[in-house]
Amino acid sequence: MRGVGKSFGVAGFLGAVLAIVPALAQDSPNVPEEGPWRLVLKAQLKQEKGCDLNEVLMYQEIPLGDDVGVQGKVSCHDNRQFDFSRNRKHQKFRIELCEPSVC
């Protein structure tokens, strides 16, 4: 009988941990809430640059009149990085390869 009580205790503990983890992930300040523009950017990167989006490294949404522009930097699975920007939501993104510049 002792083994049965322990298994319910472990199962109960694991259930409680699994219930807490999604709540912590939602509250994490390190996970940006990216808008629907991310899906458009991902498709455009794949089509134009052959880039499989790894992550959005940084982005900024910029109010422009009644619209919102977006700009930032992304990385691909092959380690390339691109800067992107778009002034209006119905425009294509301007995507440029990040290359070191020497002055």
Shared domain check, 13 and 48: no
Residues 70 and 23 in one domain: no
Whether 41 maps to a domain, the answer reads yes
Per residue in 24-64, pLDDT tens? 444 444 444 567 899 999 999 999 999 999 999 999 999 98
Count how many domains the chain has.
2
Task: Kindly state whether residue 102 falls inside one of the protein's structural domains.
Answer: no
For the chain, what percentages of helix, strand and coil (3-state, to nearest 5) are there? 40, 30, 30
pLDDT-derived band of residue 22, with 50, 70 and 90 as boundaries? Answer: very low
> What pLDDT is attached to residue 89?
84
| Mean pLDDT value across the chain | 77
Is 52 part of a structural domain of the chain? yes
Local confidence band at 16 (pLDDT 50, 70, 90 cut-offs): very low
Q: Do 98 and 83 meet the contact criterion of CB atoms below 8 Å apart?
A: yes
- Contact assessment for residue 89 and residue 67, using Cβ atoms and an 8 Å cutoff: yes
Q: What is the rounded distance in angstroms from the CA atom of residue 68 to the CA atom of residue 59?
A: 13
Residue 93 and residue 47 in one domain: yes
Q: Are residues 48 and 91 in the same domain?
A: yes
Distances (CA, A) of 103 to 31, 67, 97, 100: 35, 36, 18, 10
pLDDT of residue 43: 96
pLDDT of residue 100: 74
Domain boundaries, position 12 = 1-31
Question: Given this model, what pLDDT does residue 90 score?
Answer: 86
> What pTM value is reported for the model?
0.63
Are 22 and 42 within one domain?
A: no
Higher pLDDT, 5 or 77: 77
As a whole number of angstroms, the distance between CA 100 and CA 21 comes to 39
